[in-house]
């Protein structure tokens, strides 16, 4: 009797489905976090925007109105649309998880195309993007504008990684559109303009020498419009009264920059932020050196990745200067910044994959896995505390207590204390809109 020998399947045939299992597990974890700890109620700054989302004030001016350092027309429009469709603050929370899930799946696919096959290390994307160390972004729907920026910045890194001299015009148009959308998503996008704008001008030079010159003019126009946007952005701009003056002391700003950068790995490792920051700086320098040594035909991709990384680093430096008067202990707990600086790690990962290196991607994945337990524990612990705070407010609402009493007793020493006036105005409006339980204040 003859027997047919079947060799064992190659490792990649098992890698892809198991990567999908990791991605699905991390996605479900994020959705479960919102389900158990999210509440149909504003969080922190969101109280200030209640009149706009319930149409008690004109929407158009609100889309452009300054909030802290930001003008957010694109992301406010998305946030407003999500609320109008679902009439539930948790909808934007779920939207963030879905966006990050789609981003991690897409980046895994990009890594496969760059490498030619899947690898275990690609689990880095869902583990680092969807872990519960991002609790503050998951539990506050308005943080959708942070996550949208993350998607756009990661998209810029993908465009850069795939750029060639032959695709210079197409890559430049895609990068220009992403840059414009990032600028419309807040001050973070402005930080990308100098470095990414220079890269676009470099691509314009490539196109001028190798293709139709009108295409080069189009790329220059993208940069010109991006630069011109600064004029209306800062027309009427004012420093937020509750924020400190810009700190220009390098002995303060540089360590604070390290604090901000370290959040890319997750708030769960904030107790060793200095070690994480040093590791990220070493990784960044090594990545830039490697990219500059790549062959000349890869220069469009190498310079593009460096430009995106420089823009994100400039943003971290700006945040550090703007928050330099506050304590490290305070800033290192702000998980809201984690997704903003994460594209630095994502760009580095793609750069080393494109270079054919397996060690650095594996190291990044190992760090993400090592940080997962503390990120998860921190997220659940803080999420449970937030849910307890919300239950007290919900009990007061159901009991029909007036907004003034709720704000006076429940807002202090919670994230809601930044917007007491927003609570006094927002609670009656949300009661009228049927979003919050109870009767409007003063109504029988």
Contacts of 31 (CB under 8 A, 6+ apart): 94, 97
* pLDDT tens across the length of the chain (444 residues): 444 434 444 545 689 999 999 999 999 999 999 999 999 999 988 999 999 999 999 999 999 999 888 999 999 999 999 999 999 999 999 999 999 999 999 999 999 999 999 999 999 999 999 999 999 999 999 999 999 999 999 999 999 999 999 999 999 999 999 999 999 999 999 999 999 999 999 999 999 999 889 999 999 999 999 999 999 999 999 887 777 778 888 888 898 899 899 999 999 888 899 999 999 999 999 999 999 999 999 999 999 999 999 999 999 999 888 877 665 556 666 788 999 999 999 999 999 999 999 999 999 999 999 999 999 999 999 999 999 999 999 999 999 999 999 999 999 988 888 889 999 999 999 999 999 987 665 543
Burial of residue 319 (CB within 10 Å: 0-12, 13-18, 19+) is: buried
Q: Is residue 233 part of a domain?
A: yes
* DSSP-assigned states of every residue in 242-258: TSPPPP--HHHHHHHHH
What pLDDT does 440 receive?
61
Tokens of 286: 């090594």
pLDDT of amino acid 44: 87
Distance CA 310, CA 1 (A): 66
pLDDT of the residue at 239: 80
Instruction: Annotate 317-386 with DSSP letters as a single string.
Output: HHHHHHTTTS-HHHHTT-GGGHHHHHHHHHHHHHHHHHTT-SHHHHHHHHHHHHHHHHHHHHHHHHHHHH
Q: Which residues, 6 or more positions from 224, have their beta carbon under 8 angstroms from its beta carbon?
A: none
Residue 373 lies in a domain: yes
Is 34 domain-assigned?
A: no
Q: Quick check: 71 and 173 in contact, CB under 8 A?
A: no
What pLDDT sits at residue 240? 76
CA distance 228 to 127: 38
Q: What is the C-alpha separation between 197 and 217, in angstroms, rounded? A: 14
Domain assignment present for residue 433? The answer is: no
Task: Report pLDDT for 211.
Answer: 86
Q: What's the rounded Cα separation, in Å, for the pair 210 and 35?
A: 54
pLDDT of residue 1: 40
Residue at 6 is within a domain: no
Neighbouring-strand partners of residue 67 = 70
Neighbouring residues of 19: CB distance < 8 A, sequence distance ≥ 6? 108, 118, 120, 122, 123
Listing DSSP states for 81-123 in one string gives HHHHHH--THHHHHHHHHHHHHHHHHHHHHHHHHHSS--GGGG
Instruction: Say if residues 429 and 51 touch (Cβ distance below 8 Å).
Output: yes
Quote the number of domains for the chain. Answer: 1
390 vs 409: CA distance, rounded Å? 12
Instruction: Provide the pLDDT for residue 245.
Output: 79
Structure token pair of residue 122: 């690609």
Within 8 A by CB and 6+ apart from 303, the residues are 199, 202, 291
- Domain residues for the domain of 378 are 70-385
pTM: 0.93
């Amino acid at each position: 009797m003859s027997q047919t020998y079947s060799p064992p399947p190659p490792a990649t045939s098992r890698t892809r489905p198991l990567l999908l299992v990791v991605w699905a597990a991390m996605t479900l974890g994020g959705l479960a976090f919102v389900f158990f700890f999210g509440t149909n109620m504003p969080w922190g700054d969101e109280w200030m925007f209640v009149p706009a989302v319930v149409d008690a004030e004109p929407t158009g001016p609100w889309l452009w109105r300054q909030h802290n350092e930001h003008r957010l027309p694109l992301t406010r429009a998305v946030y407003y649309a999500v609320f109008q469709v679902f009439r539930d603050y948790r909808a934007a929370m779920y939207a963030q998880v879905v966006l990050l899930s789609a981003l991690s799946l897409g980046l895994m696919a990009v890594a496969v195309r760059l490498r030619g096959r899947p690898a275990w290390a690609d689990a880095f994307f869902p583990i680092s993007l969807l872990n519960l160390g991002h609790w503050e972004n998951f539990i506050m729907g308005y943080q959708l504008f942070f996550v949208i920026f993350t998607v756009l910045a990661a998209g810029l890194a993908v465009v850069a990684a795939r750029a060639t001299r032959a695709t210079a015009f197409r890559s430049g148009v895609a990068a220009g559109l992403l840059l414009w959308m990032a600028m419309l998503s807040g001050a973070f996008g402005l930080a990308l303009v100098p470095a990414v704008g220079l890269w676009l001008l470099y691509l314009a030079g490539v196109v001028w020498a190798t293709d139709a010159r009108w295409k080069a003019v189009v790329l220059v126009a993208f940069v010109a419009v991006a630069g011109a946007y600064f004029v209306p952005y800062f027309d009427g701009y004012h420093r937020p009264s509750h924020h400190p003056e810009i700190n220009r002391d390098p002995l303060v700003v540089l360590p604070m920059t390290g604090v901000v950068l370290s959040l890319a790995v997750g708030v769960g490792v904030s107790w060793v932020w200095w070690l994480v920051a040093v590791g990220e700086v070493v990784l960044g320098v090594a990545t830039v050196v490697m990219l500059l040594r790549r062959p000349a035909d890869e220069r469009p991709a190498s310079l593009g990745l460096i430009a995106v990384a420089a823009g994100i680093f400039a943003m971290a430096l700006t945040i550090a200067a703007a928050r330099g008067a506050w304590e490290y202990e305070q800033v290192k707990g702000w998980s809201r910044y984690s997704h903003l600086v994460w594209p630095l790690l994502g760009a580095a990962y793609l750069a080393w994959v494109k270079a054919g290196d397996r060690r650095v991607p594996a190291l990044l994945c190992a760090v993400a896995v090592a940080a997962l337990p503390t990120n998860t524990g921190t997220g659940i612990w803080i999420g449970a505390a937030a849910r307890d705070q919300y239950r007290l407010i919900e009990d007061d609402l159901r009991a029909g207590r007036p907004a003034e009493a709720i704000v006076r007793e429940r807002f202090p020493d919670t994230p809601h204390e930044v917007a007491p006036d927003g609570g006094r105005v927002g609670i009656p409006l949300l009661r009228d809109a049927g979003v919050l339980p109870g009767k409007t204040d003063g109504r029988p």
